[in-house]
A and B are shown apart, each in its own frame.
Chain A
Amino acid sequence: DAMVIQNPRYQVTQFGKPVTLSCSQTLNHNVMYWYQQKSSQAPKLLFHYYDKDFNNEADTPDNFQSRRPNTSFCFLDIRSPGLGDAAMYLCATSRVPGGAGYTFGSGTRLTVV
């Protein structure tokens, strides 16, 4: 089945230690998104790639970076995680920005110790 896969499901990292979360998709969608979701809140868009074009949200901290080496993969790098970065990180895809039916991965729950 076509899907969006995130690894790992749970990630524990030390305060200040760089961490990378990964996402892959078999849907061949043009757009890949990274959302941050904290408890009892709506998903908050960090950035997205439309093909190779990177779009950063104005309020996304510089601590967060992303890479999309090819259509299928996208990575979220957190350069120096702080306690406030503990959250669920959701990867999603769509054919076009704002298009119908984003497909989300199962998410990576990040804990910072």
Chain B
Amino acid sequence: GQQVMQIPQYQHVQEGEDFTTYCNSSTTLSNIQWYKQRPGGHPVFLIQLVKSGEVKKQKRLTFQFGEAKKNSSLHITATQTTDVGTYFCAGPGGATNKLIFGTGTLLAVQP
């Protein structure tokens, strides 16, 4: 079945350092979505990318969708303690177009 993998599984950074998580799907995706889940919280939608090679920015966050629409990345510039949480990518798949979540990357930021 379709799989969505993310690396790294865990990243610990000093506040102010940059952070990147990579997402890879076993199949081509019609779109890729990114969610953030704070510790003890629920996933919160960040953004959707649809076009091949698309790049979108939200303040310090930069999202990219690969040319082959099978991979994506999230880059955070100058991390802050408020960036702490698990970042999931997700893409629709299967006969019912369900959203399949990636394995997630847990980001820890040390002040």
Residues on A lying within 8 angstroms of B by beta carbon are: 33, 40-45, 48, 50, 55, 57, 90, 92, 94, 96-98, 100-107
Contacts and interface: CB of A to CB of B under 8 A. Distances in A.
A107 B96 contact: no
B42 A100 contact: no
Contacts, number: 60
Main secondary structure of the interface of B (DSSP, over half): strand
Interface stretch (B54-62, B63-71, B100-108): B100-108
Interface residues of B, number: 24
16 contacts: A40-B106, A42-B88, A42-B102, A50-B96, A55-B96, A55-B98, A97-B98, A98-B31, A98-B97, A100-B45, A101-B33, A101-B45, A102-B35, A102-B99, A106-B42, A107-B42
The 10 closest A-B pairs by CB, nearest first: A98-B92, A98-B97, A42-B101, A100-B48, A97-B97, A101-B45, A104-B42, A55-B96, A104-B43, A107-B42
Interface of B: 30-31, 33, 35, 41-45, 48, 88, 90, 92-93, 96-104, 106
